[in-house]
Amino acid sequence: MTERDTLKTLIDHGTVAATLHKGSSARHAITALQTFLHWLGFDRKLKWEKFGADGDYGKATATAVAEFARRNGSTANGERVSSALAEKILARYDALEELKQLAADAEKNRIERHYKKGGTDRVRIATLQTLLHELGFGKELNWNKFGADGDYGRSTTAAVAAFGKWEGVGGDGRVLTMPLAERIVAQLSPFYGDSWHDPSHTPTPAPGSLSVKSIKGNNNRQYLKVSDGVHQ
């Protein structure tokens, strides 16, 4: 079971608050929570380098939960996770890779090459659509009908134009300009911790499945690390 599966199960069963609280013995669920907070950029509050995902809901985890809550409009003190806060953690996680992608493209000055009406990079266009939906432009996107379909057509054009108007920036929405891309990142990044922009995370694989990742060994040689979720 992945970290996402663990948290989603708690939400579905209505057992978030009973499980994720200071002093809880539910180490597996707490480890999943800590891993999420790490991915979302709260390493400093978690004291990640010292503790990692140790399954102990102590002071550091409570501090990280409280900081996530504060950044996302909640007054929770961090000693317990509510269902609403868990759902918000999942929502921020679900948009994280898209936010990283757009931020990376902005840093490398490749926004207008990929994000435009009629563009063929459907993955990046779906990234933009997801982030615009996060910002509240689902109506313009016609989200219920199209979702993040990777097609930069009339609906996405309307959403980009609406976002530009909201930000006080002109434009017809046919191209996502660099200033607009930077403003999308600026609008969403405050919901995350200071280290959200770090390298991509790797979810824990489910037992019986295989994950493969590249790691650097001695003399800068690259190796492939294979895990089945049980044996490393």
- The domain segmentation of the chain, as residue ranges, is 94-191, 202-232
- Residue 92 to residue 68: CA distance in whole angstroms: 10
- Residue 81 to residue 128: CA distance in whole angstroms: 30
For the stretch 39-71, pLDDT in tens is 999 999 999 999 999 999 999 999 999 999 999
What are phi and psi for residue 160, nearest 5 degrees?
Answer: -65, -45
What is the pLDDT of the chain when averaged over all its residues?
Answer: 89
- Tell me the mean pLDDT in the region 26-44: 98
**Beta bridge mates, 214:** 224
Instruction: Tell me which of 219 and 164 has the higher pLDDT.
Output: 164
- Residue 112 to residue 174: CA distance in whole angstroms: 10
For the stretch 174-197, pLDDT in tens is 999 999 999 999 999 999 999 998
For the stretch 80-134, pLDDT in tens is 999 999 999 999 999 999 999 999 999 999 999 999 999 999 999 999 999 999 9
In this structure, are strands 222-227 and 211-216 parallel, antiparallel, or unpaired? Answer: antiparallel
- Residue 176 to residue 114: CA distance in whole angstroms: 9
* % pLDDT > 90, the chain: 83
* CA angle centred on 47, ends 57 and 95, rounded to 5°: 80
**Beta bridge mates, 227:** 211
pTM of this prediction exceeds 0.85 = no
Q: Pick from 93, 30, 92: which is nearest to 60 by CA?
A: 30
Locate 210 and state its tokens.
């295989």
Q: Are 85 and 93 in contact (CB under 8 A)?
A: no
Please identify which residue in the block is written with the tokens 């060994």: 217
**pLDDT at position 113:** 95
CA–centroid distance for 125 within its chain: 17
CB atoms within 10 A of CB 131: 22
DSSP reduced 3-state for 27: helix
CB atoms within 10 A of CB 200: 10
Element spanning 49, H or E: helix 48-51
What are phi and psi for residue 134, nearest 5 degrees?
Answer: -60, -35
Locate 109 and state its tokens.
């000055």
